[in-house]
Chain A
Amino acid sequence: MISKVLCIDDDQIALVLCDLVIKKAKFAKEVLTAMNGKEGLAFFSSYFKNNKESTEAPQIIFLDLNMPVMNGWDFLEDYVMKYADRLPTTKVVIISSTVNPEDFSRANRYDMVIDFINKPLTTDGLEELMKHDELAQYFE
């Protein structure tokens, strides 16, 4: 099981559902949440300020794209610049309701983005995700 997941989404209900489904599917022990990209970045900023071990960082970020204040793409840009190198084992899964084909191709350009899931996140979807090459190690 994954120890820590960070969900970034502006939709409160979606965050609640995410938490429930993750627990139900036994995908992760701990679910952290952020309401937009800026909060997500703040999480990592304070994380490094407190000199925490990299093993305590979330292994997965579930990232929504459309958010106020700072959207998913802007978050990714900053994250890549500031933190990605220091957190090589942290992967990103985009969870969105988008239908814009450009979003799908754009997501492909980031190495740490390992999947793109259309909302809602379900236990079936999580079970699929567990089989992913990058994550299989956590579920042996």
Chain B
Amino acid sequence: MLTTAPLTILVIEDNPGDFILVREYIEEGFQQAKISHAKSLKEAVYLFEEIHPDVILLDLTLPDGIGIGSYHLIHTQAPHTPIIILTGLGDTQTALESLKFGAQDYIVKDDCNTTVLSKSIYYGIERSKTLAQIKASEEQYKYLFYNNPLPMLAFEKESKKFIMINGSAINHYGYSEESFLDMNLHDLEVEKDVKAFAAQSNGKVGSYSTDLKHHKKDGTLIDVEMSTHDIVIEGRHCCLGVVHDVTERNKAKEKLRESEQMFRTISENFPNGAVAILDTALNISYIAGKDFHIPNSDASYFINTHFTDHFHPEEKEKVRQSLLEVFEGHNKVFEIRYNDSIYMISAVPLFDTDQSINKILIASQNITEQKKNEKEKELLIEELTQINNDLRQFSYITSHNLRAPLSNLLGIIKLLDTSTVTDPMNSLLLKNFEECTLQLNDTVNDLINVLIIKNNVNAKKEKLDIRNIFERVVHSIQTTVDKLELKITSEFDDAYEVEFNKTYLESILLNLLTNAIKYSSPSRKPEVHIYTRHTNEGIKLYFSDNGLGIDLDRYKDRIFGLYQRFHDHADSKGLGLYIVNSQIRVMGGEIDVESEVDKGTTFIITFKK
């Protein structure tokens, strides 16, 4: 016999005669078999618990059970034990029915013999084992399905109606299992995919669909790829689909594509030059741009060639040395000549993730035009500086030569004792001579002042207290102030400290004050009001008088100009406000004026922050 271990067989049979017969057949077929006998279902259940038989032979006509009911009772009790039905001639219908519910075989008692019985028992046991295995593997597959981390959908091949859904699909799509089972695959798909998928999957055992889009329950659209296989579930032709959500992957791909596109756009449109990537051997592995230094060439001319080969022999080594330094991690910028053109080459190392440098990026730019402009500009600046210096020297010499005889005249006047001149006419002439000389001296000095202010942009700035400076200025012309009964009021509050040149500030305040005196109105007592305010631009100083005023509609644009005179006044040379403006401008400040004829004038000086 094939089976080595002795079999335990439970025979459930109430007819003693039949039992004896069956036992004989068994014993003949399986010499070492252990045979237990139950005469009723009740006894059988009891015995089953005790012996756990390898196989059960069941008569369907028992005192406590008739027909298929007996089979169900025993099968429930021993679901994994093969059951063989013993039946009389007239009851084959029930026996056939029991096969449907899992009985292994049936034997008509009248046909029974050792061969038939042995074969049936043997097959029964083996088949039962196979069934158990199939069942186990089915369980495993179910486990794999339900617990698979990828969403899995089983649907009917024709209707596409879902019949099995795993947990991952439920999580991923957001539909509950019940909802899924009410839906079909097309409910997930977008319009265009429905047809395409149908066409593609038709008549194929397995397929892989890419570029699909699926709706989730919340409306978001996801990119999916789905592999499907035909399977039969409970007799129905179905498809098992495994869904790969590739939304993130596609997004990353798209980003990469975009950045590549951008890089291409930038490199191919690189203005006035080209960008290139070189390997350690200085071979060009990528190049693109709008201007290549070799005439009539394009990117394809350079690709996979040695970068330094494209320069004249005398420049080659310089280029090579510079680029090799880039491979040591330095950024390099150098200029290189090719025929009549000049290129600026900037090279930077490209670090790999392990910080090694196997490639460098090069940007070359045609700077011929810039160089030319630069050179022209330099020449122009040089020329202008020279002219400016010459002019300055000229003005110094002119001033000196003008002052030298003038100083002699002044010296003579100082020494001249006019009291000894008795002739009235000579005395008058000498007096006029003296006056003319002093006037000439004033004019020359004013002009020289202008010259020096213009040329002295580096005049020292210091922190000054306007209150002190103003007091000193008033004091210096105190006699005039007293004589004219000039009323001076001032209000500085907290805005009195400015950064300015001391001499200039004194000169400015003195100029404004003497102007106020010179151009006071004969019809009223002169008044001057000076005050300061903090503003966003800095401190503003307001200097107001009640004098003659200036017709600004006519003179506004000329008021701070050279030799501009607005009043018919003997003392006026048209220099004062020009000097004031120059001194303020050279210190980075501003001056403005408001005035009304015969009301007065206000000068506003802004000391910039």
Which A residues fall within an 8 A CB radius of B? 11, 13-14, 17, 20-21, 24, 66, 96-101, 118-123
Distance between B94 CB and nearest chain A CB, rounded to angstroms: 135
CB-based contact A11/B408 at 8 Å: yes
Chain B residues in 8 Å Cβ range of A122: 410-411, 414
- Does B575 count as interface, using CB distance less than 8 angstroms? no
A-B contact pairs, 26 of them (CB 8 A): A11-B404, A11-B408, A17-B408, A17-B415, A21-B411, A21-B414, A21-B415, A24-B415, A96-B400, A97-B400, A97-B403, A97-B404, A97-B406, A97-B407, A99-B396, A99-B400, A99-B403, A99-B448, A118-B407, A119-B404, A120-B407, A120-B410, A121-B411, A122-B410, A122-B414, A123-B414
Number of interface residues of B (CB under 8 A): 19
Question: What separation, in Å, do the CA atoms of A123 and B403 have in the docked complex?
Answer: 19
Closest to A20 in B: B415
- Assess the A120–B408 pair: CB atoms within 8 A: yes
Q: Are A99 and B408 in touch, CB under 8 angstroms?
A: no
Which A residues touch B414, using CB under 8 A? 21, 120, 122-123
CB distance from B388 to the nearest CB of A (A): 15
Q: Name B residues whose Cβ lies closer than 8 Å to a Cβ of A.
A: 396, 399-400, 403-408, 410-412, 414-415, 448, 451-452, 455-456
- The answer to whether B408 touches A14, judged by C-beta atoms less than 8 angstroms apart, is yes
Q: Which residue of B lies closest to A102 (CB)?
A: B396
A122 and B411 CA atoms in complex are apart in Å by 7
CB <8 Å contact, A14 and B451: no
In the assembled complex, the Cα of A17 lies from the Cα of B411 at a distance in Å of 7
Pick the most buried of A13, A21, A118: most chain B CB atoms within 10 A of its CB: A13
Q: Contact at B400–A101, with CB atoms within 8 Å?
A: no
Q: Tell me the minimal C-beta distance from A102 to chain B in angstroms.
A: 9
The smallest beta-carbon distance between B582 and chain A, in angstroms, is 15
Q: Which residues of B are found within 8 Å of A118, using beta-carbon distances?
A: 407
Determine the distance from Cα of A101 to Cα of B404 in the docked complex, in whole angstroms.
Answer: 17
Q: Which A residues touch B411, using CB under 8 A?
A: 14, 17, 21, 119-122
Q: Given the complex, which residues of B lie within 8 Å of A119, measured CB to CB?
A: 403-404, 407-408, 411
B112 shortest CB reach to chain A, Å:
141
**Minimal beta-carbon separation of B415 from chain A (angstroms):** 6
CB distance from B456 to the nearest CB of A (A): 6
A17-B408, A96-B400 known, 5 other contacts, Cβ within 8 Å: A11-B408, A20-B415, A98-B400, A119-B407, A119-B408
Chain A neighbourhood of B448, CB < 8 A: 99
Q: B401: shortest Cβ distance to chain A, in Å?
A: 8
Q: Which residues of B contact A20 (CB under 8 A)?
A: 415
Residues on A with C-beta less than 8 A from B407 are 14, 97, 118-120
Give the distance in Å from the alpha carbon of A68 to the alpha carbon of B452 in the complex. Answer: 25
Instruction: Give, as a whole number of angstroms, the nearest-CB distance from A3 to chain B.
Output: 23
User: By CB atoms of chain B within 10 A, which of A11, A13, A99, A121 has the most?
Assistant: A99
| Contact B415 A13, beta carbon cutoff 8 Å | no
| Minimum Cβ distance to chain A for residue B597 (Å) | 38
B24 → chain A closest CB, angstroms: 144
Residues of A within 8 A of B410 (CB): 120, 122
Among B403, B412, B456, the residue within 8 A (CB) of A101 is B456
B393 to chain A, nearest CB (A): 8
